[in-house]
Amino acid sequence: MGLKGKRGLAVLVALVVIFGAIFGTALAFYSEGYLSGVVDDSKTPDKTQAGEVLGEWEEYYGGELNTLLAQRFLGIESSYFRGLKENKVAYLTFDDGPSSNTPEILEVLERYGVKATFFVNGWNKKNYKEMYRMIYEKGHVLGNHTYSHRYDLIYSSVENFMADLKKQEEMIYEATGIRPRIIRFPGGSDNLVSIRYGGADIMKKIAERLKKEGYIYVDWNASAGDALKPPPSREQMMDYVRLTTKGKNPVVLLMHDMNSKRETLEILPWIIEYLRNEGYEFGVIDENIENIDKINRV
């Protein structure tokens, strides 16, 4: 290397050092909140503040490197940060309840501070009022899963479906004073059994009617596999959860609240912990749900 080369290298090193010093100081000031004014330096950033700071930061500088730097300097833990940035949401849904397992399901959810959505039926349900009320009062959402859950009846015509739905709605209303707008079709919106009773486009017709009357139906995009036959083992159910939730946002996880499904209750703590570790926060399905077209099949 000649003299000129050496001088060039020295200049380059000097530039890097000077730039690094300026950038580092600015970053230190920024991380303390002096420049942005967003962070009060007497406090550690909470979720909202961190989100705001990061939002500003990315707006000005962009890119993965700065995200990483902001992450490091703001002291935000990476898995928490990932969840925050991607805003990953999982909706736990229980169909066909209430059942003898409902009180214990509610206990597990309470222990973990998680709210869920229960798509309930009315036919042959003892203590239904008490059970609906218990679900509702613990802060969960009640959805309508029709009164009878009988495919031959509800899918024979739009009128029959609506009558069965409204019967269920009345029962929930009696118990809680609310009329759920959220619905889940027995078998899902793309079930093929309905064709046998109401023709090829019965689901489309019912879906149109529901929309017209202001109802929102919700399918699922993940499952614990607890309705499969023969019944899967707990390990297989865990595999289903891992496999069907992978890479999805939001996750709408189908489970069943039925007397015979003890395993679902038994692996519920694992399901919650697994999804939390994957960076998901838990939400309930209500009128404000977004991206439902991503989930629904019809």
Q: Which residues bind Zn ion (CB under 5 A)?
A: 95-96, 186
* Distance separating alpha carbons of residues 259 and 257, to the nearest angstrom: 7
Give the SS3 label for residue 117: strand
Closest CB to Zn ion among residues 31, 146: 146
Closest CB to Zn ion among residues 57, 161: 161
Closest CB to Zn ion among residues 219, 278: 219
Closest CB to Zn ion among residues 186, 250: 186
Closest distance to Zn ion from the beta carbon of 188 (Å): 9
* Distance separating alpha carbons of residues 255 and 92, to the nearest angstrom: 8
Residue with tokens 């009357």: 213
Residue 22 to residues 71, 118, 198: CA-CA distances in angstroms? 19, 56, 72
Closest distance to Zn ion from the beta carbon of 97 (Å): 9
Please tell me what DSSP assigns to residue 56. H
Q: Are 251 and 275 in contact (CB under 8 A)?
A: yes
Closest CB to Zn ion among residues 97, 279: 97
In whole angstroms, what separates CA 212 from the centre of its chain?
Answer: 26
* Distance separating alpha carbons of residues 210 and 83, to the nearest angstrom: 34
Closest CB to Zn ion among residues 151, 240: 151
Which residue, judged by CB position, is nearest to Zn ion in the bound state? 95
Closest distance to Zn ion from the beta carbon of 258 (Å): 9
* Distance separating alpha carbons of residues 179 and 269, to the nearest angstrom: 30
Closest distance to Zn ion from the beta carbon of 259 (Å): 14
Closest distance to Zn ion from the beta carbon of 220 (Å): 11
Closest distance to Zn ion from the beta carbon of 57 (Å): 46
From 148, 100, 161, select the one nearest 122 (Cα to Cα): 148
